[in-house]
Amino acid sequence: MNTRIGVVTFPGTLDDQDARRAARLAGAAAVSLWHKDKNLHGVDAVVLAGGFSYGDYLRCGAIARFSPVMDSIIEAAGQGMPVLGICNGFQVLTEAHLLDGALMRNEGQKFICRDETLVVENNHTAWTRALGAQKTIVIPLKHGEGNFRADPETIKRLEGEGQVVFRYQDNPNGSLNDIAGICNPKGNVVGLMPHPEHAVEPGFGASLGGENRRGVDGLGIFVSAIQAVLG
* Nearest to 2, CA basis, from 52, 40, 32, 42: 42
**Residue 195 annotated among the catalytic residues of the structure:** yes
- Give residue-wise pLDDT tens across range 101-150: 999 999 988 999 999 999 999 999 999 999 988 889 999 999 999 999 99
**Of 40, 48, 39, 41, which Cα lies nearest the Cα of 14?**
48
The distance from CA 137 to its chain's CA centroid, rounded to whole angstroms, is 14
Choice among 35, 121, 145, 195 that is catalytic: 195
Concerning whether 153 is annotated as a catalytic residue, the answer is no
Out of 116, 121, 145, 197, which one is annotated catalytic? Answer: 197
Set 87, 95, 145, 183: catalytic member: 87
Q: What is the mean pLDDT of residues 67-89?
A: 98
Domains in the chain (CATH in brackets) are: 4-230 (3.40.50.880)
Q: What is the pTM of this model?
A: 0.94
What mean pLDDT is reported for the chain?
93
Residue 97: count other Cβ atoms within 10 Å of its Cβ: 10
Q: Is 60 a catalytic residue?
A: no
170, 191, 168, 171: which is closest to 181 by C-alpha? 191
